[in-house]
Structure formats: structure tokens, C-alpha cells
């Protein structure tokens, strides 16, 4: 099996290591020439996933045409804000029959489109060969070969079934789904809630408060997802509560660490420049605020994160405002009826 991975950040690199160890022929596209040279010459990506040996079966390219040539499966691991541009550049070189898999967890801020909707705009007839993978998967643990599970969703059930069996491994178990929207919403919005959980930890508000953020955050994710056409039960699975809990509690979570530093009094601009790694929740918070307003969905935690990140609200003020809201019925507005 020949796999092309577009994007050599931590997740794309971890997947290249995982599939390379399994004996797949892997090509990985890198935006930076230095990363390409690092992978091909030193067998390591010291910029985005330092400390992991990359198998010889993995070859890096900065040319999209070369990276995509002969691919039987194409995995896009690009940040959400550059996915459209990379797709447009890659489209002429995409093998016609190859399945396209998105592992990006984000929403396009300018258009409020999910990644699947961006693909549908750019690539004709993509629905039947498109899938998305999302779930509780820290890149460093997947690169180490530690057990993980995720959801693979496609509107083409036959494709989801095929990819599930082709890509699964005793160390990487995939569960099939047809709810592309739900899986994408869960993967994107949980990053915003993780920043809130991190702020809670940075302010030292305690484990009770963190658990409340996670639980009420899940209600927000579900409300938005259902309004956009998702199955509410999807959010009880790996791409929903599973990914949310991991990102809100794990020390490897970039979004949680951004929140912790904000809670400790650091400024966002200083946090961002201190690392080359992207915390998707920062940009996604803009899209989530806009989506909640467009869809008429109440999302107070997400709104508070947006205000802290982009409007100068102090974290302590945000915490007080959330606790002072009028009392509500739990899960109000969510129906399990389809």
C-alpha cells in the first residue's frame, strides 16, 4: 500500500512513522525545506516531533506532485487555515481513484465551513471517496506505538469499511461511522473547550470546575452539532467525549497548555510566538462564535474563550461570568430524536 501524507506537522509525522513501521510505502509532503531535509537525511522531524526515528520507508518531499505520485490513499494533515490553499495546489496531482482522508481538526474561519465542505467545493465528486479520522489521539503516543482508537467517518459506507480494515492495527483501532458532520464538529470544537479547561487549571479552580467545563462543553458541542445535522449519539463516542476528555486533561494537549498559560497570566501573543506548534482552538474559537450566532445556539463557554482570546477579557472575569449565569435545565435544547 502506498500512502501520501500531506502535512508534516506532529500528527502527519506521527502517522508517517506508524504506517512506515507497518511496511507501507509512505510519502510525506513538507511545507518547509528544512523539515524535508531533516526527515530524509537525519530520519527525524526535529521541528514538530523531536525524538522519534522515522522509518526508511518514509520519504519527504516539498513538491506536491512528487509527494502524490502513485498514491493509493491520500491523508491530509494540514492546519485548517491552510487546507483550502493546499487542496487547490494539490488537486491537479491527486490520483483519480485514491481515497482522500482528512485528519484536520478545525473549521475554516472565513467561510465557517467544515473541512469536508471545503473538499466538496474544490474537488468534483469527492463525497464518495472522502473520509475523516478523528478521536483521542496524541501524536507522540501514536508515534511511540501506544494503543489508540479513533473514528473513521464517510458518507460512503463501503469506503469507510474498506479504510477501517486497511488502516486499523492492534495499536490503532478504527471505528466506522457515517456521521461526517458530527465527527468533524466534535474534533474541532473540543479544542475550544480544552482552552477553557486549561484556563480553569491555570487559575487553580480545582478538579470539580474542570469536570464541569468538560461536561457543559460537551453539551455545547452537541447542541451545535445537532443543529448542523449531526447525530447526537456521535458525541458520546471517540470523536466526541473521548477526544474532549483527552484534550481537556492531557499534558500533551497544546490547546490545554495555551489555556493554562492564559490562566497563569501570560498574554496570547507571547504564548503563540513561543512555539512553532499550532493550537487549532485559537482560530476555531472565532469560527465557533460565528457559527453559534448563525445557528442560534447558546455556547457560553465557547463565547467566554473567544472573549478571553480576542477581546481582552481577563480569565478571572470569564470564570465569574460563567458561574453567575442564570440557572438552566441540564442538556436543555438537545433531543435524541432524529
Cell of 110: 472565513
Residue located via cell numbers 528544512: 34
Helices 280-295, 254-263: axis angle to 10 degrees equals 90
Task: Tell me if 199 sits within 8 A of 318, measured CB to CB.
Answer: yes
Name residues whose C-beta falls within 8 Å of residue 263's C-beta, 6 or more positions apart in sequence: 198, 199, 200, 201, 202, 203, 204, 315
Among candidate residues 88, 121, 85, 87, the one with its CA nearest the CA of residue 102: 87
Q: How far apart are CA 256 and CA 271, in angstroms?
A: 12
Which residue(s) pair with 107 in the sheet? Answer: 114
Q: Which helix (H) or strand (E) segment is 67 a member of? A: helix 64-68
Q: How far apart are CA 298 and CA 295, in angstroms?
A: 9
Query: Of these residues, 113, 190, 283, 289, which one is catalytic?
Result: 190
Name residues whose C-beta falls within 8 Å of residue 222's C-beta, 6 or more positions apart in sequence: 232, 235, 240, 331, 334
190 is catalytic: yes
Name residues whose C-beta falls within 8 Å of residue 161's C-beta, 6 or more positions apart in sequence: 176
What number of residues does the chain have? 338
Q: Tell me which residues are annotated as active site.
A: 190
Amino acid at each position: 500500500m502506498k500512502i501520501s501524507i500531506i502535512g508534516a506537522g506532529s500528527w502527519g509525522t506521527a502517522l508517517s512513522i506508524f504506517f512506515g513501521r507497518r511496511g507501507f510505502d509512505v510519502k510525506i509532503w513538507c511545507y518547509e525545506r528544512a523539515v524535508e531535509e531533516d526527515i530524509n537525511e537525519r530520519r527525524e522531524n526535529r521541528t514538530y516531533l523531536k525524538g522519534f526515528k522515522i522509518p526508511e520507508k518514509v520519504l519527504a518531499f516539498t513538491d506536491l506532485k512528487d509527494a502524490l505520485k502513485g498514491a493509493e490513499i491520500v491523508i491530509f494533515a494540514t492546519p485548517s487555515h491552510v487546507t483550502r490553499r493546499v487542496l487547490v495546489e494539490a488537486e491537479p496531482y491527486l490520483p483519480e481513484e485514491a481515497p482522500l482522508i482528512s485528519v484536520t481538526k478545525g473549521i475554516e474561519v472565513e467561510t465557517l465551513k467544515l473541512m469536508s465542505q471545503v473538499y466538496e467545493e474544490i474537488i468534483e465528486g469527492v463525497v464518495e471517496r472522502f473520509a475523516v479520522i478523528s478521536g483521542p489521539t496524541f501524536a507522540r503516543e501514536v508515534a511511540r506505538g501506544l494503543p489508540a482508537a479513533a473514528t473513521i467517518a464517510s458518507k460512503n459506507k463501503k469506503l469507510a469499511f474498506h479504510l477501517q480494515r486497511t488502516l486499523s492495527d492492534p495499536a490503532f483501532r478504527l471505528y466506522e461511522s457515517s456521521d461526517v458532520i458530527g465527527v468533524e464538529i466534535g474534533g474541532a470544537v473540543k479544542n475550544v473547550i480544552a482552552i477553557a479547561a486549561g484556563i480553569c487549571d491555570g487559575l487553580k479552580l480545582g478538579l470539580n470546575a474542570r469536570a464541569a467545563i468538560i461536561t457543559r462543553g460537551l453539551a455545547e458541542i452537541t447542541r451545535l452539532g445537532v443543529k448542523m445535522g449531526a447525530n447526537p449519539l456521535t458525541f458520546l463516542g471517540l470523536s466526541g467525549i473521548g477526544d474532549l476528555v483527552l484534550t481537556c486533561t492531557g499534558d500533551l494537549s497544546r490547546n490545554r497548555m495555551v489555556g493554562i498559560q492564559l490562566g497563569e497570566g501570560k498574554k496570547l501573543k507571547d504564548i503563540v510566538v513561543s512555539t512553532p506548534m499550532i493550537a487549532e482552538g485559537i482560530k476555531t474559537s472565532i469560527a465557533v462564535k460565528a457559527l453559534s450566532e448563525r445557528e442560534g445556539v447558546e455556547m457560553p463557554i465557547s463565547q467566554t474563550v473567544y472573549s478571553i482570546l480576542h477581546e481582552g477579557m481577563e480569565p478571572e472575569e470569564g470564570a465569574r461570568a460563567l458561574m453567575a449565569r442564570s440557572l438552566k435545565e441540564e442538556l436543555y435544547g438537545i433531543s435524541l430524536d432524529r
